[in-house]
Amino acid sequence: MPTTVSLVRCLDYQEAAVHKKLKEVLDLIGGIQQFVAPGEKVLLKPNLCIGRPPEKCVNTHPLVIKSIVLLVKEAGATPLIGDSPQIGSAHSAADKSGIGDIAHDLGIDIVEFEPVTALNPDGKIFRTFTIGKIVKEVDKVINLPKLKTHALMLLTLAVKNMYGCIPGTRKAQWHVKTDKAGKGYFAQMMLDLNLLVKPALTLVDGVMAMEGMGPGFGDPRHLGLFIAGTDCVAVDRVIAEIVNVPPEHDPILRVAINKGYGVGQLEDIAVVGEKIQDVSVADFKLPQKEDMFDRIPTGLKRILKRHLTDQPVINQEKCEACEMCLKACPVDNVDMENGTLKIDEQGCIQCLCCVEICPHAAIDLVPGRLLRIYSTIRKLFGGG
């Protein structure tokens, strides 16, 4: 039997409309009562990577959180809100994003992710994770990602949102652990993490998405959609189709399909509600991306990496010397010299944690020398 993904239009963040449309998108796959039961404790896991106001489209919209809280409570369960920003607390990020006000008004706890080691017997490669203790203590997890682009992984959707279950700076450590093996290995880690967390339900906020250089400083893009399902890979596959991303171009979907995670083939997914072709967009702007690096043998990649990838460079005109990038770098590759922050090109592993965390959009991505040459050649011969 095909897995089901539901699509419902929601034109804007009007509270009554959001609640009505969220209920509709969930009813198409059985209703909230299919996923939570009376007396259960349910963790709501939004995208709360860094505190920014709702109009920036960085985090799951507060009204989406409010509606899910109300539906979970109507089902007789107790909702909690939790995430683990790379730097700072969930409370601080929630307050800045508007989610804190929702939690306060509805009497819902915001939980910080205290680290605990968890075995992952279903993992194909990664059998142990350090995750938030609350993730294993609750009865259910509801995954509430924002539909966004991602400079490193192209898109950040259902699968990627579970990465927030890894507490704080430990997320950056995974970039170090998987750096030499590449994005495919990093993607497999996140897919194994999903097997551990096993969210009971995913609801994606795609009313106002983010395109361009996400996940922190892309451009708001109106898509007017809610997307829901129980299989994170299937949800991501449907969204990739909507925004015109072939699955082989998305590192997570490529690994999921090749390694047998979830349902990644469109013909095996029953899409209910709106039809994909009626809500798809052809001009969704993706991060700057070249596929040259993926075609090169592993040994040669290590030698040429900085010449074939986008290098983060601090824009000194925008930089406020807040040192957030220095704190976020997992390899201690950012230095302060005479009041000026600099990134060492030689030591950079291109995890882009600094880009994601910078509150001033002061870190530019500059293509490496060989990547610039390759891009010029492709354009000359009509390759885009």
The CA distance from 177 to 157, in Å, is: 22
42 close to 61: Cβ distance less than 8 angstroms = no
Reading the block at residue 306, the tokens are: 């900085």
Q: What is the dihedral of CA 338, 344, 345, 351, to 10 degrees?
A: -120
- pTM comes to 0.85
Q: Per-residue b/e over 63-79, b at no fewer than 16 CB within 10 Å?
A: bbbbbbbbbbbebebbb
User: For residue 291, is pLDDT > 60?
Assistant: no
Ranking 4-18, 120-134, 302-316 by mean pLDDT, the lowest is: 302-316
Please give the average per-residue pLDDT across 108-115, as a whole number. Answer: 96
The CA distance from 355 to 17, in Å, is: 34
- According to the model, what pLDDT value does residue 299 have? 57
- According to the model, what pLDDT value does residue 376 have? 63
Please give the average per-residue pLDDT across 282-300, as a whole number. Answer: 67
Q: Which residue has the higher pLDDT, 129 or 325?
A: 129
User: pLDDT above 70 covers what percent of the chain?
Assistant: 88
User: For residue 311, is pLDDT > 90?
Assistant: no
- According to the model, what pLDDT value does residue 161 have? 97
Reading the block at residue 203, the tokens are: 């609801």
pLDDT digits (tens, 9 = 90+) for 346-376: 778 777 778 777 888 888 877 766 556 656 6
pLDDT digits (tens, 9 = 90+) for 244-287: 999 999 999 999 999 999 999 999 999 999 999 999 999 999 98
Please give the average per-residue pLDDT across 325-352, as a whole number. Answer: 82
The CA distance from 259 to 262, in Å, is: 9
| Residue position matching structure tokens 């910078």 | 358
| Residue position matching structure tokens 């449309």 | 21
Domains for the chain: give ranges and CATH numbers: 3-279 (3.40.50.11440), 293-380 (3.30.70.20)
Phi first, then psi: give them for residue 292, nearest 5 degrees.
-60, -40
Ranking 235-239, 283-287, 338-342 by mean pLDDT, the lowest is: 338-342
215 close to 50: Cβ distance less than 8 angstroms = no
Reading the block at residue 231, the tokens are: 């299989």
User: For residue 7, is pLDDT > 70?
Assistant: yes
The CA distance from 59 to 46, in Å, is: 7
- According to the model, what pLDDT value does residue 384 have? 46
CA distances from 212 to 209, 240, 243 (A): 10, 15, 12
Q: How many CA atoms lie within 13 A of 151 on its CB side?
A: 24
> Considering the chain, what is the average pLDDT of its residues?
89
Q: How many CA atoms lie within 13 A of 202 on its CB side?
A: 32
Q: Which residue has the higher pLDDT, 344 or 95?
A: 95
CA distances from 156 to 51, 120, 151, 187, 204 (A): 17, 23, 9, 11, 11
Q: How confident is the model at residue 101 (pLDDT cuts 50, 70, 90)?
A: very high
92 close to 51: Cβ distance less than 8 angstroms = yes
User: For residue 72, is pLDDT > 50?
Assistant: yes
pLDDT digits (tens, 9 = 90+) for 45-64: 999 988 899 999 999 999 99
The CA distance from 278 to 311, in Å, is: 38
Please give the average per-residue pLDDT across 21-43, as a whole number. Answer: 98
CA quadruple 90, 93, 95, 101: dihedral positive or negative? Answer: negative
Q: Which residue has the higher pLDDT, 52 or 380?
A: 52
82 close to 199: Cβ distance less than 8 angstroms = no
- According to the model, what pLDDT value does residue 56 have? 95
